[in-house]
Structure 1
């Protein structure tokens, strides 16, 4: 039973790391990636729809995103959604597709992005600590009848080791993203 609790906790911690990586992928670090548009929602036939479900998004070069909607009538809606987003990008529309030029980042914008990166990292660490707390609570409940106090302590130590491992992984992911952002 405690092994199941530990396995479940590790799976949830792994999902927290995955969520952090997805969040960081949407940060603009000076180079074009289709993931930049993952959070952009387009008002399409009365429903908010992600851009990647309305169009083909590719990168002809490192500083340009090309958005080719499958339905040409959605071009203006996609353009409006990009302008409303917090990406700070201005789309250029040729009627059939949209081009996004990714400008080089200013030093101020780099500092803002690093702060945002750290915020995402802290949220991931809090999530991991909450998962640890939940797992430890579950083990303490087992201590009342199914396992001894020593076993409980050993399992809690195992969960702490997993927590430390995943927290170190968060730090590694953050360091890589900060390095990418600060690259000129």
Structure 2
């Protein structure tokens, strides 16, 4: 495989990881640490902003309950307050040295909103992939100027990578939609 094609594949792989990360943050009916671990909270009297995963371990006790165990028990109130102020639809409850969050059932209307948001994220991902393709095609034409056979071969190779990635993105979307519709 040509170095340009390898570089394009690597860039598209990074785009795919970004898409997967974006999609994983969409809330399904199930508890998942991904729902809150990247939430940035103001702790220690407002002097420090840290992600939940930097402040505590986040675990799942059952299909609808998250449990947060702070590394420093003195900031348990700050973590609870920060999650409430984030307006993500969760009510954290302090239970001794841990915080419990019950994940509420999604309404049908909310599921449809999440599916719409997911489709928008997927479309943005496809646009990013096409942008990488466009840049790769321009690089190929510049590097192999005058060698039409080589240009055509590499363009086909890049297009094949793009087509495979678009299929993967659509599959990710189908799986997430299935998760969102599951009651």
TM-score using structure 1 length: 0.93
Q: Which moved more, 1:90-99 or 1:124-133?
A: 90-99
8 Å contact from structure 2 (residues 37, 58) kept in 1: no
RMSD over aligned CA atoms reads 1.4
- 2:87 and 2:5 map into 1 onto residues whose CA distance is 39
Q: Quote the residue 2:54 is aligned against.
A: 53
Determine if contact 1:121/1:174 at 8 Å carries over to the other structure.
Answer: yes
Match in the other structure for 1:66: 67
Structure 2 equivalent of residue 141 of structure 1:
142
Query: 1:30 & 1:3 partners in 2: Cα distance?
Result: 44
Q: Secondary structure at the match of 1:31?
A: coil
State the SS of the aligned residue for 1:98.
strand
Tell me the residue number matched to 1:31. Answer: 30
C-alpha separation between the residues in 1 aligned to 2:79 and 2:20?
25
Q: 2:151 corresponds to which residue? A: 152
Unpaired segments of 5 or more residues in structure 2? none
Q: What residue in structure 2 maps to residue 132 of structure 1?
A: 133
Which residue of structure 1 aligns with residue 90 of structure 2? 89
Shift in Å, 1:87: 2.1
Secondary structure at the aligned position of 1:27 is classed as: coil
What is the TM-score when the length of structure 2 is the normalising length? Answer: 0.93
Deviations 1:110-161 (A, max 9, x none): 00110111111111111111110111111011122xx601211221111111
CA contact (8 A) 1:26 1:39 kept: no
**Which runs of at least 4 in structure 1 moved beyond 6 Å after TM superposition?**
none
Partner Cα separation in structure 2 for residue 153 and residue 119 of structure 1: 32
2:170 matched residue in structure 1: 171
| Matched residues, number | 181
Tell me, in whole angstroms, the C-alpha distance in 2 between the residues paired with 1:7 and 1:47: 41
Q: Please, which moves more after superposition, 39-48 or 162-171?
A: 39-48
Mapping of residues 81-120 of structure 1, within 5 Å:
81-120=82-121
